[in-house]
Amino acid sequence: MVTVYDVPAEKLILKTAEKLKQNSAIEPPEWAEYVKTGRHTEKAPVQEDWWYTRAASILRKLYVKGPMGTSKLAAEYGGPSDKGVAPNKAVKGSRNIVRKCMIQLENAGYLVPKEKQGRMISPSGMSLLDNAAKEVQDEMKS
């Protein structure tokens, strides 16, 4: 059986994002085209469907790293802030984006809350990722 660990992360995330586009519970908010993804970035994302890519990435991270809350996930999407002449310092990404994605994924049934640890992936979320991993592996073989 093919799992998330057997295929490249980038291809899996793109395949999962395609599947998430078909789900009506996951939809970018109206402000998504204008927002930066964190303090460390200068511009908004240039991809039109970046919201689905971020949601798929969050789903994969929760599959691989276990239950996490918004703050830990925001740290995963952070980067160095430009402090001019001073040394750069690591900052977190946008917690609002992570929170909204997690809420949408939970409403779609892919995440479940875990008491005092944030959210973790549900069996249907695991199934979605494993099926996407199988499709990615089949595409890589042919």
pLDDT in tens, 53-90: 999 999 999 999 999 999 999 999 999 998 889 999 99
- Distance from C-alpha of 118 to C-alpha of 66, rounded to nearest angstrom: 10
Structural Rg of the chain based on CA atoms: 16
Whether residue 55 contacts residue 73, with contact meaning beta carbons closer than 8 Å, is answered with no
pTM here? 0.93
pLDDT (0 to 100) of residue 79: 93
The one-letter amino acid at 46:
V
Q: What percent of the chain has pLDDT over 90?
A: 89
pLDDT (0 to 100) of residue 127: 95
Q: What domains are defined for the chain? A: 23-122 (1.10.10.10)
Q: Whose CA is closest to 36, among 101, 94, 102, 98?
A: 94
Evaluate if residue 142 carries a pLDDT over 90: no
Q: Name residues whose C-beta falls within 8 Å of residue 9's C-beta, 6 or more positions apart in sequence.
A: 60
